Amino acid sequence: MRRTALSIKSIVIIIDIETNDGVRVFNERQLRHVDLNLLVTFLVLMRERSVSRAAACLFIGQPAASAALARLREQFGDELLVRTAAGMVPTQRALALEAALGPLVTQMQETLFAAGGFDPASAQHTFTLGMPDWVEIWLLPRLFERVRTQAPGIRLAIKASDPFSFTRMLEDDAIDVAIGPAVQGPRWQKTRTLRTLAFRCLYNRRLTRIAGKLTLARYVAQPHVLVSYRAVFDSAADALLAEQGLRREVLLTTPRFATLPAILRTSRAIATVPEVLAERWADDTLAAAAVPFALPGFTAMAAWHTRRDSDPALAWLLDQIAAAAQDAD
C-alpha cells in the first residue's frame, strides 16, 4: 500500500510506503524532508546559469535564490554551479541531477495540474510568449483583451523572438508559446495554424511621387527598406524579381517593423510588409497598395513543446491566441 501526502503551501514531499514481498521499498527517512521548492529552484538555476536571472524567473529576490543555492549545495554535498569568468558552470554532479530530476518534476507538474483542470476565472498564472514585433502590433492588443476579460489573474510576459530563435527558446523552456511565421521545426515542436496573411506595400505618397496604381516598374524604381532578422539585403521577393530579370535596391535593413512608419514618413522608400500592418499604418501620408507581382503570403502559427501537450492551462491559452488571430485586423 502506498500513502503519499503533498503539502502545497510548503511543497514538501512526505512519503511513507508499505510494500508486499517483491516490491521495492523506498527509504522514507531520506525522502520525508525533501523540499520540492529547492528542486524547482535547482532546475531553474541550471537553465539560466545565473542566480539573478533564476530569481527573476521564480519571482523571488536574489538573496533568496542565493540562499536556496547554498541549501542545495549542502543537501547534495556538491558545489553544483561554479562561478567562472565565462559565467556559472555546472559540475558533473549537477548535470547528472538535472538529467534525472527534470523529467520527474515535469511529470509531477503535469499530474498535479492536469488532474484539477484549469479554471481561467480563478487562475493565478504567468504565461511567457515569444514573438516578433509585428505580431505584438497585430495580435497582442486583441489577445490581451481576451485574457483580461476571461482570466483577470493571468499575466502575459512577452519576449522578443523571431523564426531563428523560436525553437531554442521553446527547448530551453524560456517561453511557453512562440507566435510567428510557420517554420519547420524539430519533431517535438507542435504547431497550430492561426491565419494566412498576405503582403502589401507601404510608401509615402508625396515623397515617392507615385500617383495612381503602384506598378512593377515604379516598385523597382524606388529604394526599399527591408525587415531582416539576420541583417541580409534580400528576401523571397528579390528571388521572384530576379526570375523576371528585375532587381530592387534595398538601402536599409532593420529587425523591427515598428520603426518603418517613422522611416517612411521621411523618405521615398517602399516597405513590403504583412497586410495587417500596412492597413493599420495607412493614412493621409502613407499609402498601402497591392504588391505588383505574385508574392505568396505566409501562414502565422503558434508553436509549443510537446512536453506541454497535457497542460490544460496552455491549451486554454492556445485557444485564446487562435481566436484573437481570427478577430485581429
Domains of the chain with CATH codes: 33-115 (1.10.10.10), 125-190+305-327 (3.40.190.10), 199-296 (3.40.190.10)
Gap between the Cα atoms of 222 and 224, Å rounded:
6
| pLDDT of res. 328 | 76
E strands, the chain, in order? 2-7, 12-17, 34-35, 81-84, 87-90, 125-131, 154-160, 177-181, 189-197, 199-204, 223-227, 249-254, 270-274, 286-290, 298-305
What is the residue-level pLDDT of the chain in tens, covering all 329 positions?
Answer: 333 333 333 444 433 444 444 445 556 666 666 777 888 899 999 999 999 999 888 888 899 999 999 999 998 999 999 999 888 999 999 999 999 988 888 877 777 665 557 899 999 999 999 999 999 999 999 999 999 999 999 999 999 999 999 999 999 999 999 999 998 889 999 999 999 999 999 999 999 999 889 999 999 999 999 999 999 999 999 999 999 999 999 999 999 999 999 999 999 999 999 999 999 999 999 999 999 999 999 999 999 999 998 899 999 999 999 999 998 77
Query: How far apart, in whole angstroms, are the C-alpha atoms of residue 90 and residue 82?
Result: 6
What pTM, to 2 d.p., does this model score? 0.66
Cα atoms in the 13 Å half-sphere on the side-chain side of 263: 18
Q: pLDDT value at position 142?
A: 96
Within 10 A of 264 (CB to CB), how many other CB atoms are there? Answer: 23
> What local confidence, expressed as pLDDT, does residue 20 receive?
47
- Residue among 175, 187, 189 at smallest CA distance from 135: 175
According to the model, what pLDDT value does residue 299 have?
A: 96
What residues contact 71, with CB distance under 8 A and at least 6 apart? 35, 38
The single residue listed with the C-alpha cell 523618405 is: 267
Cell of 53: 536571472
Type of residue found at 205: R
* Cα–Cα distance measured from residue 180 to residue 321, given in angstroms and rounded to the nearest whole number: 12
Angle at 137 between CA 222 and CA 306, to 5 degrees: 115
Nearest to 57 by CA among 74, 40, 36, 72: 40
Q: Closest Cα to residue 309, out of 194, 195, 189, 179?
A: 189
Confidence (pLDDT) at 102: 87
CA distance 76 to 166: 34
Identify the pLDDT of residue 58. Answer: 84
Provide the pLDDT for residue 117. Answer: 73
CB 176 within 8 A of CB 129: yes
Query: Can you give the C-alpha Rg of the chain in angstroms?
Result: 26
